[in-house]
Structure 1
Amino acid sequence: MKSTQQIPRAWTENILNELTHDTAIYRIFSWKRFSEILAKNELILVNPDMWDDPFENFYLKADAYSGKDKVSLESLRKGCFGQCWTLNEDTDAMWRIYSPEKNGVRLKTTVGKLFRSVIEQQGILTDFSSYIGKVEYLTKEEIKTYHQQSFSQTMLGGQGTGFASMLLRKRTSFAHEAEVRVLASLSSEYLFEYEDGLYQVKIDFEDMFDEICLDPRLEIGRFEEMKTKLMQKTSVPIIQSDLYHFDFQPINLDI
């Protein structure tokens, strides 16, 4: 593992929007995807074209001009990859959205652990090859204003933080997600390897994750069965979310 001395700028400056190395973050995966992560020891960052909200990556799809000449942003757009996490430990909305089959798995790590894996994957390509930051939530009008006033400075000014900030903005409709994004930017010479829009990041599962949390809607017997099987494959602590578990006390009607 590379020491922090070898990556001083990325390690200290490319963590944005009030996050720290020790900030806990979470992500819910389908059982199938979780099983792949466990078996392959890898996370997958995806191209923003695959993100659902069209307002998230409109900067990269917009037409850009220098004078009367149209400037292609295709290589920049295709060279971006990201993965979304959350600061929310346990919410009803997140389980329902990201675990529709009621058998999802929530993984817990830290900003520092996730970011280090991406940095080491890239091998210190440039000071602004990778970032991690908390998403800022804006209204549609605020996003449009940002587009009009700051687009050229961000895209053409050569500032890595400006580029990263483009992908750390989202509409207020999604504020409940309390999202954190890890971002990687590759130069065009590497893009032929990632034409499918997927960027694989190798990890050490045991070192990366602090906790495995199974879906709160699992029957207790099913949870115990899944836990037993997982304990044969990993030493990471395994729990079940207690989001819907209540210890009702008897009601005394004689009061």
Structure 2
Amino acid sequence: MNSKNILDISDIDAPLYRVYSKRRFLELVSTGKNPLVKPRLWDDPFENFFLNSEISDPSGDNISIEGLAEDWHGQCWTLNEDTDAMWRIYSHDKDGIKVRTTIRKLFDSFYDDTETFASLKFLIGKVQYRKEAEIAAFMGSTSFSDIAFGGQAIGFARLLCVKREAFEHEREVRLLFQDTNPKRSDGKAVLFDFDVNAICDEVMVDPRLDDAQVSALTAEIQAAGCTLPVLQSPLYRVPKFTLRL
């Protein structure tokens, strides 16, 4: 692990969570491959405010950084343990599957120090939430040379870990990969080895499922090869209180 490639994270043993669709999770278990996708495929079009930018050269001509943009891939995780928004956004059909790991375990499994220029390729960062005016002011006062100073990837990665404050509730942590030569992308994603049973500590299913649905989904998860405990989120569990007479 390269600690310089861990950005704005104070506790690398903090729990980390991600909700997969059932199809994606069963593929993850059965294939042992985890895809990181290009940021242009993320939902929020504002996500790519940096990679969609152009560079103005001394003569006033604009230069596209599309080639650089195509090199980056990422995956979003969250520090939120269990929220209503998480299930409703990422578990549309109530069949989402949430995994729990830690930042350390996730990054250890991801970072490959045998790769040439590994320090330029593998990064993880906590998302910083900013007002849109603050983002615009920063972009207006900085230069491409400032961001790329020293030929490191950290400046670019930090900008990929900036979102508007309207999304602050997400508490995201982003796994980032810069696909430098030799290229590994298939045009949309890069696949990384991911052993669910070794990297994750727990699997949790949607709180809105009834008992029969939980049993059926648990059986599918186990049949795919997952040996982790499968629990149901207690988010909507109704407490029973006893009052004194």
Task: Give me the TM-score of the superposition, normalised by structure 1.
Answer: 0.88
Which residue of 2 is the match for residue 4 of structure 1?
A: none
Correspondences of 1:4-19 after superposition (within 5 Å): 7=1, 10=2, 12-19=3-10
Aligned match of 2:152 in 156, 159, 176? 159
Aligned pair partner of 1:185 in 178, 187, 191: 178
Q: Is residue 103–residue 217 contact of structure 1 (8 Å, CA) maintained in 2? A: no
Contact between 1:117 and 1:201, CA under 8 Å: does it hold in 2?
no
Q: Which runs of 4+ in 1 moved over 6 A?
A: none
Question: Which residue does 2:50 correspond to in 1?
Answer: 59
Q: Secondary structure at the match of 1:142?
A: helix
Please, which of 34, 40, 47 is the counterpart of residue 25 of structure 2?
A: 34
Fraction of identical pairs, as percent: 36
Name the residue aligned to 1:131.
123
Distance 1:238 1:19, change over 3 A: farther
Partner SS state of residue 184, structure 1: strand
Which TM-score applies when normalising by structure 2?
Answer: 0.91
Segments of structure 1 that go 5 or more residues without pairing to the other structure are 1-6
Map 1:216-227; keep pairs closer than 5 Å.
216-227=207-218
1:196 deviates by: 2.4
- Distance (Å, rounded) in 1 between the aligned partners of 2:11 and 2:83: 22
Matched, 1:49 2:40: yes
Shift of the 168–228 alpha-carbon distance from structure 1 to 2, 3 Å rule, reads same
1:231 aligns with 2:217: no
In the alignment, the residues of structure 2 paired with residue 106 and residue 67 of structure 1 have an alpha-carbon distance, to the nearest angstrom, of 49
Displacement of 1:175? 0.4
Displacement of 1:22 = 1.1
Q: 1:120: how far off? A: 2.2
Q: Deviations over 1:189-221 (max 9, x none)?
A: 334x42422111112221111110011111012
Q: Which secondary structure does the structure 2 equivalent of 1:100 belong to?
A: coil
State the alpha-carbon separation in 2 of the partners of residues 26 and 180 from structure 1: 9
Alpha-carbon RMSD across the aligned residues, in angstroms, is 1.9
- The answer (yes or no) to whether the contact 1:154–1:163 under 8 Å persists in 2 is no
Alignment-derived partner of residue 106 in structure 1: 98
Deviation larger for 230-239 or 90-99 = 230-239
SS at match of 2:120: coil
Aligned to 2:165: 172
- Unaligned 5+ segments in structure 2 are none
